Amino acid sequence: MLNVFSLDNVGIARGRLIQVEVDSPQVLIQSNPVWVDLESPTSEEKNWITSQFGMAIPENAVDEDLEESARFYEVDNGEIHLRSDFLIDDADGPRNLRVAFIVKNGVLFSIRDEDVPVFRLLRLRARRTPAFIEDAKDVLLKLFDADVEYSADS
């Protein structure tokens, strides 16, 4: 599933996330996204990202085996790659889910295998609160902030 978010930069709603319906690769780039969230992305969705942003999503982006050198690195073209675990506290008990992030040209790309409560929480807050988000780095920091809060509550 491909979730694309742009920033509302008009008037009182400035700094709120707006979800954009994407049904083609052309709409993807025209939406001027600040955050592209890929949940269990299909090969077609991955191809859209590659064709529109010139970025390939690594096949092992959300693998469980995570060496220290793969947690954070920068590619020669300026892409920043991060991998982190996010808590999911469901009926089966608490567990971690690996999420990969790539920041390229002011856009945050998140890649994950399933829904994460923290992501829903951030989207809700960012839709309701003016001036909550300024850029892609803000989205990333707010996700980590929400994860700390969610983990403490759990």
Residue tagged 């403490």 (tokens): 152
Domain ranges across the chain: 2-153
| Residue pLDDT, tens place only, 62-118 | 776 656 666 788 888 889 999 999 999 888 888 889 999 999 999 999 999 999 999
Give the separation between CA 27 and CA 104, rounded to whole angstroms. Answer: 18
Class of domain 2-153: alpha beta
Give the separation between CA 127 and CA 78, rounded to whole angstroms. Answer: 29
pTM over 0.85: yes
Give the separation between CA 16 and CA 81, rounded to whole angstroms. Answer: 25
SS3 state at 25: helix
